[in-house]
Amino acid sequence: MNSSNKIVLRVEGLKKYFPVRRGFLQKVIGWIQAVDGVDFDIEEGKTLGLVGESGCGKSTASRLILKLLEPDEGKIIFRGRDISRFSQSQMKPLRKEMQIIFQDPYGSLNPRMTTGESIEEGLRTLGVKGRAERKARVENLLKMVGISARGADRYPHEFSGGQRQRIGIARALSVEPSLIICDEPVSALDVSIQAQIINLLKDLQARLGLSYLFIAHDLNVVGYISDTVAVMYLGHIMEYAPADELYDNPLHPYTLALLSAVPVPEPDHRRELKTLSGDVPSPLDPPPGCRFQGRCPLVEDRCRKGEVGFYHASDNHRVRCWKVLGR
């Protein structure tokens, strides 16, 4: 990776297992390996796209980075400091640095607060004194995301989904963060609105120098906004490469399958669909070996035995598969 760029967030070997309890005594009968050893870097002013099917641990990873969940293992290094063992009170000053935008624009705003009040919550924790000062800042933030200042007195239900997503972005920006985790921010929106939100995010990145962790399951969207892409499957990262490289030269069978499922806007385009059979298996006590073994078209015996490590296809292209180097 280009070492001249400053790394905002580095995640190393991040793990989170959730216990599954059953019965009268609530005995632990197994562990859901939601995030199982994830590593990635986010550079200053850049976007890392995190792609994967639902239930693969993308959202859990985002909650772990924000320390809304306690990680079991691994390091979360934010601007040179490992915050993975920080207590909630130690996290307090860092909360302003990292913010989150949610998938569901209907659930992410308090229905009993006006948008102005919701955004003010951030300004309060930032320590902005004075009602007039806060009001002015709220209007500024709303303007920044393309909502008129009058919107500050309105309630969330008076806005459309796209507008609410903009308000969610304004709330995240209220504490002047440097890293924003976008947890599927466009998945719940219409395609035309998706483009607007994506462009807004790109625009804000250019103006404010934000770094994004962009979580999505739509490869088109991720490819458009990301500088680097990590493909995740059942708690593991399967392929990790710069966006152009990943789209031009996908190596992991899972990435190939995902890319072949992306619709292409050309009516004459004929392609070979590499449809995957079956569903994502349960992350409850997965078998040893490669996580993808159950659905992989190229599966061999050795995939079912030892853990598969990363192989470097090139300097900054890592793949968790034997097949990369033709071996």
Partner 1 sequence: MRRRSGIEEFWHLLKQNRLALTGLAIFLLFFFIALIGLVQTTGTNPTFDPAMVRLQEKLLPPLSRPNLETLRPEEVPRLGVYLFGTDDLGRDVFARMLQGAWVSLTVGFVAVGISVLIGIFMGGIAGYFRQNHVRVDHILFLIVLHSGVVLLLLWVRPLWAALVGGAVWGFIFSFCWKKVWKRCQLSGWLNILRKEAISIDTLIMRFVDIMLCFPSFFLILTVVALLPASMYNIMIVIGLTSWMGATRFVRAEFLSLREQDFVTAARALGVNHWRIIFRHMIPNAMAPVLVSATIGIATAILTEAGLSFLGFGVPPPHATWGSILSDGKRFIFDAPWLTFAPGFAILIVVLSFNLFGEGLRDILNPKLRERY
Binding interface with partner 1 (CB under 8 A) = 63, 66, 68, 91-92, 95-96, 98-100, 102-104, 107-113, 118, 121-122, 124-125, 153, 155, 157-158, 168, 171-172, 174-175
Q: Pick between residue 126 and residue 299 the one whose CB is nearest to partner 1.
A: 126
Beta carbon of residue 112, minimum distance to partner 1 (angstroms, whole number):
4
Beta carbon of residue 158, minimum distance to partner 1 (angstroms, whole number):
7
Beta carbon of residue 114, minimum distance to partner 1 (angstroms, whole number):
8
Rounded Cα gap, residues 154 and 114, in angstroms: 5
Q: Pick between residue 182 and residue 241 the one whose CB is nearest to partner 1.
A: 182
Helix (H) and strand (E) counts for the chain? 9, 12
| Alpha-helical segments (H) within the chain | 58-65, 88-95, 115-126, 131-144, 161-173, 191-208, 219-225, 243-248, 253-260
Beta carbon of residue 278, minimum distance to partner 1 (angstroms, whole number):
30
DSSP secondary structure code for residue 301 in this structure? G
Q: Pick between residue 66 and residue 142 the one whose CB is nearest to partner 1.
A: 66
DSSP secondary structure code for residue 217 in this structure? S
Q: Pick between residue 78 and residue 292 the one whose CB is nearest to partner 1.
A: 78
First to last CA, the chain: 25
Q: Pick between residue 103 and residue 226 the one whose CB is nearest to partner 1.
A: 103
Rounded Cα gap, residues 158 and 85, in angstroms: 41
Rounded Cα gap, residues 63 and 183, in angstroms: 9
The answer to whether 35 and 61 have CB atoms below 8 angstroms apart is: yes
Beta carbon of residue 70, minimum distance to partner 1 (angstroms, whole number):
12
Beta carbon of residue 165, minimum distance to partner 1 (angstroms, whole number):
12
Rounded Cα gap, residues 177 and 125, in angstroms: 13
Q: Pick between residue 68 and residue 325 the one whose CB is nearest to partner 1.
A: 68
